[in-house]
Structure 1
Amino acid sequence: MARVLVTGMSGAGKSTVLEELRRRGVLTVDTDYDGWVLSDGNWDEPRMAGLLAAHHQVVVSGTVANQRHFYDRFEHIVLLTAPLEVLLDRVRRRSNNPYGKSLRQQEQIRQYVEEVEPLLRTGATLELDGRLPVAHLADMLERIVSPAPPAPLPSSVP
């Protein structure tokens, strides 16, 4: 069992892969929704601490300034990446999140790819290509969050 953080730029596919994991029965929290991010742009620290203390098998997604405060409580930090043009195309077309529609927001995404993504990379334990099929990404994350038990050792007794 593991606590996994999926982080990355807007449009990388975090919400999409979490939705697939949720469909498969994995406990997920997409911090873009339901008040996890406070008005200052940071996670609600007491709430996040409570979530991670209460659940030993959960996949959380988000990219916020204070996420590093929680890295020691996750077994895996997964950076989901995609080329800038893919990110911009996705945020322009998506319907589940308004961020990225304006030119100003798209310029922010360009800046974050240059300045923030390298910082995320330094804290990541695994980097995945967000252009891979969603089912494949979900398979990989599912194996991380709930690895198969080790195979029993063969008995030497006849």
Structure 2
Amino acid sequence: MRRVLVTGMSGVGKSTVIERLAADGHTAVDLDDAEWSEWVDVEDDDGPSPEKAGQDWVWRADRVRELLARPIERPLFVSGCAANMGQFVPSFDAVVLLSAPKDVMVERLTTRTTNVYGKDPAEVARSLEFKDTVEPLLREVATVEIDTRAPVDEVVAVVVRSADAG
């Protein structure tokens, strides 16, 4: 069975996709949830929130390592993006990069109701900066990229197909 990472910048639709996968009966885990991630102190101010200078939101390595080590009988879909995710990329059979133009990201960040991140203009600016600096790095490890301006059903279908590829 395959392990699929769904990643991308804030506001591209990771949470929407992982929620839809779960609703459709797939094994789906949102690593951006506090059960799987935590704020940690860092030496610089390069974290996702200018409101939390000197801190970064990272995956709880022990929990993620355990999740990925579990035997699976059906595909496992995991979503998230964190500074420490690189150590886990080799554990995935597919890496799906969700992307959207900056104006779409801004619209989604400022109007969403399921997450407070992005309500502060400084967080929106940080997300747009990450689109320029982090997204190209994610593109290098991605096995597929999906423009999330497409209807969510189409995006989810491509993500599911990525679990069947290879």
What is the alpha-carbon distance in structure 2 between the residues aligned to residue 136 and residue 119 of structure 1? 25
Q: Aligned residue for 1:140?
A: 158
Q: Aligned residue for 1:106?
A: 124
What is the alpha-carbon distance in structure 2 between the residues aligned to residue 112 and residue 86 of structure 1? 15
Q: Aligned residue for 1:12?
A: 12
Number of residue equivalences: 147
Percentage identity across paired residues of the two chains: 41
What is the alpha-carbon distance in structure 2 between the residues aligned to residue 4 and residue 124 of structure 1? 11
Q: Aligned residue for 1:45?
A: 61
Q: Does 1:59 align with 2:82?
A: no
Structure 2 length-normalised TM: 0.84
What is the alpha-carbon distance in structure 1 between the residues aligned to residue 143 and residue 160 of structure 2? 15
What is the alpha-carbon distance in structure 2 between the residues aligned to residue 55 and residue 79 of structure 1? 25
Name the aligned partner's letter for residue 2 of structure 1: R
Q: CA deviation at 1:34?
A: 3.5
Q: Aligned residue for 2:54?
A: none
What secondary structure does 1:65 align onto? Answer: coil
Contact 1:2/1:144 (<8 A) preserved: no
Deviation per CA, 1:77-129: give whole Å up to 9, x if none. Answer: 11100000100100111000000011111110111111111111111111111
Q: Which runs of 4+ in 1 moved over 4 A?
A: none
What secondary structure does 2:87 align onto? Answer: helix
Contact 1:29/1:60 (<8 A) preserved: yes
Q: Aligned residue for 1:80?
A: 98
Q: Aligned residue for 1:151?
A: none
Q: Which structure's CA Rg is the greater one?
A: 1
Answer with 99-108 or 54-63: which moved more. Answer: 54-63
Alignment RMSD, CA only? 1.3
Structure 1 length-normalised TM: 0.88
Q: Does 1:119 align with 2:137?
A: yes
Q: CA deviation at 1:142?
A: 1.6
What is the alpha-carbon distance in structure 2 between the residues aligned to residue 139 and residue 13 of structure 1? 14
What is the alpha-carbon distance in structure 2 between the residues aligned to residue 43 and residue 32 of structure 1? 8
More strand by share: 2
What secondary structure does 2:132 align onto? Answer: helix
Q: CA deviation at 1:55?
A: 4.3
Contact 1:42/1:65 (<8 A) preserved: yes
